[in-house]
A and B are shown apart, each in its own frame.
Chain A
Amino acid sequence: AQTVTQSQPEMSVQEAETVTLSCTYDTSESDYYLFWYKQPPSRQMILVIRQEAYKQQNATENRFSVNFQKAAKSFSLKISDSQLGDAAMYFCAFPGGEKLVFGKGTKLTVNP
């Protein structure tokens, strides 16, 4: 069964600095997608970024980028120039069959 592990329950970063959230997963599949979702306080979950496993190039969306290491089954999220609005729970997710398997999440605090 696919598993997703986020080893950092909480992280904090100073505004304008960079922070990296970690995620590891386990799968026997060779072709798949990985996702990072963001859940702001009392607001709905939204997609931050998606990575296709067969692509060597790491995905980037504005200030958000991933460091995808397929052999190590690692999928970390880097947030550059952190903003107060980045404060949220961040979930790494991996498709397990036709459902998403989520990590436990990392609570990111952005300090002004």
Chain B
Amino acid sequence: KAGVTQTPRYLIKTRGQQVTLSCSPISGHRSVSWYQQTPGQGLQFLFEYFSETQRNKGNFPGRFSGRQFSNSRSEMNVSTLELGDSALYLCASSFVRSGANVLTFGAGSRLTVL
């Protein structure tokens, strides 16, 4: 079956703009999590959605938001972009919410903010 698909793979934005990233989970997976990966901070949890509801949120400013649709696809949005938002944004899906559950990751969306 198809894996986790993230679009776009690469994008360049300027400060102050906003960006929307998309994630299509594995078919049947209802949980979608987002992580930000940077060389300095490593992998940091952004948020998790399950059944269209945000279940958990990381320590990020309100400029970072997301949503999940009825087909489990998820989007995340970053408004008023800052240089520090340059990162690889990873989406991961799992069948259920569980600390035991294995996450399947997408290839990521690499955002560069100029």
Which listed segment binds A: B16-24, B40-48, B68-76, B78-86?
A: B40-48
**The one of B42, B55, B58, B90 that contacts A45, using a Cβ cutoff of 8 Å:** B90
Question: Nearest chain A CB to B34's CB is how many angstroms away?
Answer: 10
In the complex with contacts A32-B99, A44-B106, A45-B90, A99-B43 CB distance below 8 A: no
Number of interface residues of B (CB under 8 A): 23
Question: Nearest chain B CB to A102's CB is how many angstroms away?
Answer: 4
Q: How far is the CA of A44 from the CA of B23 in the complex (A)?
A: 14
Considering only residues 37-57 of chain B, those with a C-beta below 8 Å from chain A are 42-43, 45, 48, 55-56
Q: Which of A33, A44, A46, A105 has the most CB of B within 10 A?
A: A44
Q: Tell me if B97 counts as interface (CB < 8 A to partner A).
A: yes
- Determine chain A's interface SS by DSSP, over half rule: strand
Q: Tell me if B102 counts as interface (CB < 8 A to partner A).
A: yes
Q: How far is the CA of A95 from the CA of B58 in the complex (A)?
A: 13
A97 CB contacts on chain B under 8 angstroms: 56, 99
**Extra 4 A-B pairs, beta carbons < 8 Å, given A44-B106, A99-B45:** A44-B105, A45-B90, A98-B48, A99-B48
Residue positions of B touching A, CB distance < 8 A: 3-4, 33, 35, 42-43, 45, 48, 55-56, 58, 90, 92, 97-100, 102-103, 105-108
Residue positions of A touching B, CB distance < 8 A: 32-33, 35, 37, 43-47, 50, 52, 91, 95, 97-105
